[in-house]
Structure 1
């Protein structure tokens, strides 16, 4: 199994640096700081879109912090960040202080709550179109970006994709970078043969324009997905029909429901305002970024959650009539009740 870098000595320094970007005095009811990952990533574009809709329809201004969860999850504890987009897999690791978050917050993990589950992300390993690499198994012996430093979500995805094909980091030449966009850039520049690719991200389109982008199909079989789920329990296979950048033919990719998280002590009023803005105006999201066409209210309250919902979110979804017994049971399960 790939040995993740842990961030016990790194997070504090990164958090301090990132905090300087949001250090101006703010009133919680007026400004919300949203973790959104670095520019060029899909999460950054989606965070900008969600923030724009919230800002348009409420008195809240959303400032997107272009940092990974390894930076902004610790900032939840200091109230320097309020909400953020992340994978349920990474959030689960952060909350339980395991994997790349081993030892986080003195081994207690970072306190997180779920606000809503949104669009399914589409992930695999991407290569240059003319690289002659046709399958994940072909990556054996190749230069693969599998260590993303503090950008833990991509490290997790890389390991899960390799595991899907029965490979580990020992079977490839691991290339190290510091963010998801830098990984694809390494492929563009010829420093790597393959990297994690997120369908719909700006950097993937840059690779396609420069060299052609080819996302390698994962194996959707139960056996192969069991290997991927050993890395991250929330991974599911998703079929993508030919057409999007990176998919010149029908393929399967790894997926999960992209999730909006919040610090547990974020006020009920702010949580309700954020949720109502997105609930009432979700149709505006797809006009800002096409990947948000599936960011729809029928997904928001879900049994797929890995982290308990914020109490104000529970109350909101009950009021909307979408808080089912199944969702309640799952929420109790992940709450340890």
Structure 2
């Protein structure tokens, strides 16, 4: 039986990956930094608490035929040094351990945040030139980690990079819960009147793509692939559907795009002046991802990985709403 190491298994995507690979017949070794959340995976995986940036890794990787690297520090705000350690140094150490222990396949989760610009962008393919100035340290660190993974593809080690866009679902703490937190007041600022078109990805589709990447042929070696559901949605339609599913009465308040970006910039400047530089409630990146269109071309993933979305967006929103209500009533 093939054994797969899943990193970041105490987090949202990694947890789903560990459970699904176990159901698919893999022996799973799951690692993360939250011992409590790892313990709940006991029926699906052998669990090992570890910090990829500092702990010895050879024993963690030894005996595994593949690694699925989901672990990352993901935030629109934070110190560059923290992102470099968690996302770049940890990836470099994990790749080195994989090479030393004879791992055959390394699937790495990159991020479409690298594409971000203050401009509408449609049908972006995987070709990419880094900007002269990054909007977030997170995006820069994810590009740097991708470069390491691409460079490690040689000999026995076959590497694949996936860039899943806006993954949401049961256990998500970053995408839909942030929208709901803003809507808690009964009002939701709709940047650019919600006209931006964006791609989002049910976690079930992202997990399916990972499973396909573990089996993909030689054409996928060292390549990056966009992953989404391939059905862009308008922000207004997305939030309306979300609020309807959750039976929330929320007033949508149009906000000009330029004004929202300016207010976020002022909030960031103020945060830089505070002790510890706490994350402001409004960031330029947060404004940008809802105010500017960004859609992805996923034809390469369909061609090389045999990828197809596993769940429709409407069905995924309904599933999220059910889990949300169940969690609040528990």
TM-score range, shorter chain: under 0.3
Q: So what's the TM-score if we normalise by structure 1?
A: 0.26
